[in-house]
Structure formats: C-alpha cells, structure tokens
Amino acid sequence: MAMNRYRPNEHLIGVKGSRAKLTTPALILDLDALEHNISRMAELCALHGVALRPHAKTHKSVRIARMQLAAGAVGICAATVREARVMAAADVSNIHLSSPLVGEVVIGELIALIKEGAKLSVVTDSITGLAALERYFTAAGQAVTVLVDADLQAMYRTGVSSPEAALDLASRIAQSQTLQFGGVQYYSGIVQHIPTAEERSEVYGQQLEKLKALVTLLTNNGLPPPVVTGGGSGTFAIDGQSGVITENQAGSYVVMDVEYGAINVLVDDPKPFHPALFVQTTVISNNARGMVTIDAGSKSIALDGPKPRIASGAPLECVFQILGDEHAGLIFPGVVDPAVLEAGPPPADSETAVYKLFYEIFGGFKGEPGQLEIGTKVELTASHCDPTVNLYNTYHCVRSDTLVDIWPIDARGNL
C-alpha cells in the first residue's frame, strides 16, 4: 500500500495492534480517556454549580470543542484570534478571547469575525487597549462585549492590579456607545498546581475574597458583572463553591499532563481525570551505557513544565533528559541520582552544558549498554499539554492498542 508521506500512519487506521506500529514521533490521543474527561468535568461542574467554558488553547481541535459543547459547556475560550477564527468557521459558537487584543490587524480580524456572525467577547486591562477597541469598533459600526481582566493575586501577566482600576475600566465600557460591559475575568495560575486540594482551597480562598470585594465594588457603583469567568482545571470545584465565579475556564483536564497529574484535584476524588495525551517515540540508539536515545527532542516535546514521564515501553523509573532538537535520552534506574538530572545544568548555559553534564555522569559508569532494543516504542505522558499539542499537525486517535482515526489539530500556530 502506498504511504501518504504527509500522514505516514494513515494506512494503519483500523489495524489491530497498530498503536505499536506508528512512525514517530507521533502525538497520541486516547479517545476513551478523552471522552471520560469531557463527561466527568461536565458532571463535576454541574455538581459544584459553575458553568463550564473550556479553553480551546489546550486541544486546538474543532472536534474536541464540539464534544465539550455537546456535553454541556456554555461556550469556549480562545487565546488567539486564529483559534477563534478556526472555531467560528466550524460553527463553534460563543467564543471568549481571554487575552487582551492589541494592534489594528488583530482587532480587524475580530471585527471581521463578528461581521460574519460569530458571537464573541473579549477582555481589556488598560485604558489604551480599551480606547483602541472603541476606536476600531466604532469605525466599523460593530459592537462587542468586553470584560475587565483583573489580576488581584499579583500574577503579573495580564489584568488590572486594583479594584479601583477595574471600576474605572468597567465605567468607561458602560459609557461607550459601541462596547458592552460583560463582566470580569479572573485567573490565578499560581494556585492551579498546588498539590493538595485542601491547601489549594485555603490559598485560593484568600484570593477569592479580593474578587468578591471587587464584585461588590462594581455592584455598589451600578455595574453588577453579568459574568465572572476564570479558574482552571485545579480550581473548578472551589470556583463553583465561591459564590462569585460563574463560569470556569478549565483547559488541561481534557487531556491532562504530568503537572496536573501530580495534584489531587478534589478531596473525595483526587484523580477524576485520566491521562489522554502521549508522545510515542522510538529508540534509535542504545550504545551509551545506562541509557538509550529516542527520536523526540525539543521539537516534539514542550519543555516549559516538568519532564515528561514514561507511560509505557520502558521502566517507569527511567529519567527523561533532553539531548537536542530531535533527540532525548532515557536514563535507566540506578545509573545516577534522578535529582541530579532533574536539576540539570544552569538555565543560562547552552546545549553544550547538557553534554558536559552527561560526560560527568556517564564517564566513569561501568554498566551495560542500552537495555532496550533499537526500534522499541516508548510512550511519554505529555509534560505540558498545551504547547506540546501546538508542536504537531495531527492527533493519532487510539482505542486500546488500535489506531482508529487521525484528527487535524486545526488551530495550531499563530495569527
């Protein structure tokens, strides 16, 4: 059978055992786990009294967004206008852009989407940004719903840092002939990965008191926020119980990753979501003592979170070590203290420092060469799901040991 060089695994669809025969690196999506996660989050949000507006920046997939909406989500979030355009073109409705939009081209794309019938809302966190939105939308004769982005926990990413600044922005939006005040956005990324549900609730609860004070200030000034949106996969239950956040923007729950897999999400149900995203790799060299080399480096695995973990194909205790653009090492148990590798070379050092570290580790090691045969397939649990997804063009969808479909990652890339 002729092989499609752009989709080299297409001929394996439906072949029993085909999961172990993929040309790699390949991004694996376990559909059973995906469906469980979508259904379970819908149940949990309903149970805890918060609407779900999942973040499409995690999966960047029209099909998955449709599955989330079918399960009861009130809409989706997008991080970029490109994501919004792809979703809107596929009739995925009610899209909230969660990052401030700046620049004539970006805002022009937003206006075009609204003219085409898309239902959108946006955020702002500055007078400058608000003025630009009003200027361009007024010139286009279009209206848009605008939420105030608040950063009351000092995350220092986006968002106004004081209730007074939020009130000022909300008042200006309400006075506009073009912009409509839609409410408040509040996201605390610094609490999402606190390991225990109890500690997360305590820390986040203190932050939510500031949010409640902001909502009270707005309400007392005649600007009750119609929507208070935010939160994430680590806080949806707390968000619902808070009485202030009306919809949750969880994203990672849908596929999970190493970082979210390390936390206890709920007190009574610590692990409600299942890992659904894996990077399948192949052992391509086993000459080095105590380790093997796989064909997935920094171009295949996001490195801004913890290291990926072994899911199958190698001892679970193996330690992943990046070796370059296309290569990584799997270091076997007992070769070296994992803490040494976890620390690695100083961040400011170049790739050369990685090899220096390896020379120091393996230079005097007297173990046996590679314990895995060349061609062995090893699957890794994704370290950070969102940027890992963005490195691929397709999902290889599996059920158990069989490749059942290949889905495009529709919205990857930039504007």
Place of tokens 């401030």: 100
pLDDT of 370 > 90? The answer is no
Q: What is the average pLDDT across 60-75?
A: 98
* Residues 255, 277: Cα–Cα separation, whole Å: 5
* Residues 278, 380: Cα–Cα separation, whole Å: 5
What is the overall mean pLDDT for the chain?
91
At 152, is the pLDDT very low, low, confident or very high (cuts 50, 70, 90)?
A: confident
Q: Which residues contact 3 (CB under 8 A, 6 or more apart)?
A: 10, 11
Record the pTM. 0.92
Helix axes 62-70, 31-48, angle to 10 degrees: 40
Render pLDDT for 216-243 as a digit per residue (tens, 0 to 9): 999 999 999 999 999 999 999 999 999 9
Q: What is the average pLDDT across 279-291?
A: 90
Q: Which residues pair with 76 in a beta bridge?
A: 95
Render pLDDT for 76-135 as a digit per residue (tens, 0 to 9): 999 999 999 999 999 998 999 999 999 999 999 999 999 999 999 999 999 999 999 999
Name the burial class of residue 220, with classes exposed (0-12), middle (13-18) and buried (19+) by CB atoms within 10 angstroms of its CB: exposed
Cis bond leading into 25, ω under 30°? yes
At 301, is the pLDDT very low, low, confident or very high (cuts 50, 70, 90)?
A: very high
* Residues 415, 81: Cα–Cα separation, whole Å: 6
Q: Give the CA radius of gyration of the chain.
A: 23
Q: Which residues contact 397 (CB under 8 A, 6 or more apart)?
A: 29, 31, 403, 404, 405, 406, 407
At 414, is the pLDDT very low, low, confident or very high (cuts 50, 70, 90)?
A: confident
At 371, is the pLDDT very low, low, confident or very high (cuts 50, 70, 90)?
A: confident
Place of tokens 């990046």: 322
Which residue, 44, 69, 37, 78, is CA-closest to 253?
Answer: 37
